Structure 1
Amino acid sequence: MLRDTHESARMIKLLRHIKARLGRKSIVHQPVETPIAEPASEGELVSRVQQNLAWLPVYQEPEPLNSPPPTCPPLGRENESLLIRYRAYIAQVEQADRSTLDEACCQTGRQLAQELLDTAITMASLKADSSPDMYWLIQSAAIASMFADGVQSEAFERYREHL
């Protein structure tokens, strides 16, 4: 019985709360309309646009990646003259524009790439195992071919296959 009284008291409180909520009138807020001011002149309009856009960052077109090719580490005295020629060739073509390279320079690059690959193959047949020296020689051959013939050339693709 005490329980029924307690539940009925709670129900009465709930009904009063619901009546109070439903009995209130909701206040509707009307939006305040501000008149749009006409610009005095075209110059004023432009300056407002410039003011509004002033905080936006200016888009800067990304620059092409301009990192030097990897340098070949020293590979022993027997390959020293070949690596000196390779470094001199890379230094020459790296500074020049691809379109300005003459045929003699491209032919030098092709010959150098072939010599680097031949040296790597000779080294592989003598040592009968793969060493970092062979990798660097083949990589250097591919880089020389890339500068001599271009990235899309078949010769460069052949050197890349060896890597």
Structure 2
Amino acid sequence: MIDAVRFERAVAPVGVVDSPQAAANRVQALRDALGLWRGPALSGISGGWADRNRSRLHRKRISAYLQYLELELKLGRLESAIDQLSDLITRFPNVELFAENLMIALYHSGRSTEALEVAQQARSALSREYGLEPGRRLQTLELAILRRSPDSRLEVSPSSWDRAGLWKGN
């Protein structure tokens, strides 16, 4: 079980991350917050309140991982991000943003073939589990990698955190 209050305080938006130093500080704060997790949130507690908060905390955990890894990628820490994203895809196979960011990290590491394998694995998992095709962004990334396109489609995926305008720099 985690200390939910400490986790939520640590992952709360902090304003604009506008420099490499600010990004590195945010990465450390998110790493510390994610380190608080020990199994599922509120395990051993039952009832409606626990169910609602367990789900909410799970979503915050996924969001924190996305923020953390997107900043790692923006800071150029590709190998660290690749290792962690590979683990996260195994643990959370239905989170397409993890697959997208892994594809981007692999591509920028000169590992295009592996990036395309990630796309194929995501496609297979989504089809098998949900009867769905990957979303437009993952499909577009796959095509950009096949074409070796040096364009904006191969940038880090925008998480809800980025869409909120909290990251303003590279």
Which bin holds the TM-score, normalised by the shorter protein? 0.3 to 0.5
Q: Return the index of the structure with the highest Cα Rg.
A: 1
TM-score normalised to structure 1 length: 0.32
Higher relative contact order (CA 8 A, sep 6+): 2
